[in-house]
Amino acid sequence: MTVVDTLIHARWIIPVEPESVTLELHTLVIDNGRIIDLLPTGLAKQKYQGTACENLENHALLPGLINSHTHAAMTLMRGMADDLQLMDWLQNHVWPLEQQWMSEAFVKDGTDLAIAEMIRGGTTCFNDMYFFPEITAAQAIHHGIRASVGLIVSDFPTVWAENSEAYIEKGLALHDRLRHHPLISTPFAPHAPYTVSDAPLQKIKTLADELELPIHIHVHESLYEIEREQEKTRRRPLQRLHELGLIDPLFVAVHMTQLTDDEIARFAESGAHIVHCPESNLKLASGFCPVAKCIAAGINVALGTDGAASNNDLDMFGEMRTAALLGKAVAGDASAVPAMTALRMATINGAKALGRENETGSLSIGKAADVIAVDLSHLETRPLYCPISQIVYAAGRSQVTDVWVAGKRLLKHRHLTTVNIDELMLKVAEWRERLAG
């Protein structure tokens, strides 16, 4: 009998790859942080002995969810400027608050709050875009969560960097420092076409090609963005980015609520990715990403929450449900964006967009053991006919009981293992007094 680190015996296992498969009474075998086997529980008990062993008789095991677009530190602004249009929200509320309060301490405490919320909601990897990315990376490492920490770039000065050259220089230094870390990757993250001019975008493209790094950027988030670009250059933002050579298989476009059929076709040909943020788009009335059309064209569409300042949560279960329901309404087709598609958007599609599909996104042998357990015995998820549909359409993040990242347990029976909640809540209360004052 082979001794391994962890055996998880589960009522159901949904590996995501292959698609639409639900395995009953199976066991996930984890050793040295990786999945080394997935087999019927009876056979597993004969073949393996686990140093740790979990019997989850009412649970479904899933790959950890991937939040493909966040601004983690902005969780401290949750609820501060609700019910406003995007540019009003940004220019008159968010940006002034950031100018006043942005600091290493703000990013550390806000990121801690976001990570705690995400782990409790079954997220094991997040793709971030914010200032002081070195602090975000440090906190992700501290808590053991996987993160793609964006090397943010803007033309505008902030407390973190005075111009685009400084942003890029500091980002490259962070990339060099973290490039071999098993939990952290560092995509470039120019903020948006309207905040980054051509020269830094061209430099980012050159560096991204050289270093084989994704480029993660807000694109076609609102009609205002497109009208502004057309007034300045007589082009739509996507056309400008195409002409600059940015849009290729390493390009990750966030939001994409304003798309023509021709833009969808050209984007599909490029091999680039979309991150859909349905709840933030709805709350800011930014528009609707035509997800069904994009998927039909062959575009890889991932899922993100955006920041909690515009959502107002980091709940990927809610995002899956909203993506599926909204996708049907926008397409006028009840079969559009089915439950399995929404689950893939929250897992393997996110991994592909971030260039991390070889390590996470599915419960496949050889991948990192990024695993979540969802208790489906609750009244709210009974009767149960199809676990996949139940997870997307009925389950809530409070039903996530256990979370592992690279085989390390970050949530144990709903208790965070790396976060002192009492200390965190005191810090959050202090920030509330500062920001509200």
Model pLDDT for residues 92-120, shown as the tens digit of each residue = 988 898 889 999 999 999 999 999 999 99
* Same domain assignment for residues 100 and 186: yes
d(CA 414, CA 213): 35
Pair of tokens at residue 50: 């686990």
| 168: pLDDT strictly greater than 90 | yes
Rg of the chain, C-alpha, whole Å = 21
* Same domain assignment for residues 45 and 123: no
d(CA 63, CA 350): 12
Express each pLDDT in 371-387 by its tens digit.
999 999 999 999 999 99
d(CA 1, CA 47): 5
* Same domain assignment for residues 179 and 311: yes
Domain assignment present for residue 364? The answer is no
Bin 363: left if φ > 0, else alpha if -120 < ψ < 50, else beta. Answer: beta
Domain assignment present for residue 198? The answer is yes
The CATH number linked to 56 is: 2.30.40.10
The CATH number linked to 129 is: 3.20.20.140
d(CA 372, CA 120): 10
Instruction: Give the chain's mean pLDDT.
Output: 97
Domain assignment present for residue 435? The answer is no
Percent of the chain with pLDDT over 70: 100
Q: CB–CB of 316/277 below 8 Å?
A: no
* Same domain assignment for residues 42 and 76: no
Express each pLDDT in 186-223 by its tens digit.
999 999 999 999 999 999 999 999 999 999 999 999 99
Query: What kind and span of H or E run contains 335?
Result: none
Single residue among 286, 319, 353 that ends a domain in this structure: 353
| 437: pLDDT strictly greater than 80 | no
Mean pLDDT over 253-275 rounds to 98
| 89: pLDDT strictly greater than 90 | no
Task: Using alpha carbons, select from 332, 338, 348 the residue that is nearest to residue 393.
Answer: 338
Residue 46 burial by CB count (10 A; 0-12/13-18/19+): exposed, middle or buried? Answer: exposed
Q: CB–CB of 148/176 below 8 Å?
A: no
* Same domain assignment for residues 147 and 281: yes
Provide the domain limits for residue 398.
2-63+370-406
Q: CB–CB of 68/300 below 8 Å?
A: no
| 87: pLDDT strictly greater than 90 | no
Task: Using alpha carbons, select from 150, 155, 206, 146 the residue that is nearest to residue 174.
Answer: 150
| 84: pLDDT strictly greater than 90 | no
Express each pLDDT in 134-157 by its tens digit.
999 999 999 999 999 999 999 999
Which of helix, strand or coil describes residue 284? coil
| CB count in 10 Å sphere of residue 162 | 11
* Same domain assignment for residues 273 and 379: no
Express each pLDDT in 36-53 by its tens digit.
999 999 999 999 999 999
Domain assignment present for residue 359? The answer is no
Q: What angle do CA 10, 12, 13 make, to 5 degrees?
A: 90
74 to 1, 101, 113, 171, 420: CA distances (angstroms): 49, 11, 10, 20, 20
Percent of the chain with pLDDT over 90: 95
Q: What is the per-residue pLDDT for 86?
A: 81
Q: Beta-strand (E) ranges in 281-426?
A: 300-303, 371-375, 400-405, 408-412, 415-416
Q: CB–CB of 119/410 below 8 Å?
A: yes
Q: Is the pTM of this model over 0.85?
A: yes
Domain assignment present for residue 14? The answer is yes
| DSSP single-letter state for residue 86 | H
Task: Using alpha carbons, select from 134, 150, 136 the residue that is nearest to residue 186.
Answer: 150
| 401: pLDDT strictly greater than 90 | yes
* Same domain assignment for residues 323 and 378: no
Domain assignment present for residue 177? The answer is yes
Q: What is the per-residue pLDDT for 72?
A: 98
* Same domain assignment for residues 326 and 247: yes
Pair of tokens at residue 72: 């983690």
Place of tokens 């993660």: 216
Single residue among 326, 353, 380 that ends a domain in this structure: 353
* Same domain assignment for residues 376 and 347: no
Q: What is the per-residue pLDDT for 95?
A: 87
Express each pLDDT in 276-317 by its tens digit.
999 999 999 999 999 999 999 999 999 999 999 999 999 999
* Same domain assignment for residues 124 and 18: no
| 85: pLDDT strictly greater than 90 | no
Domain count, the chain: 2
* Same domain assignment for residues 291 and 377: no
Domain assignment present for residue 126? The answer is yes
* Same domain assignment for residues 116 and 218: yes
Domain assignment present for residue 338? The answer is yes
Residues found in the chain:
437
* Cα torsion angle, 290, 294, 296, 302, sign: negative
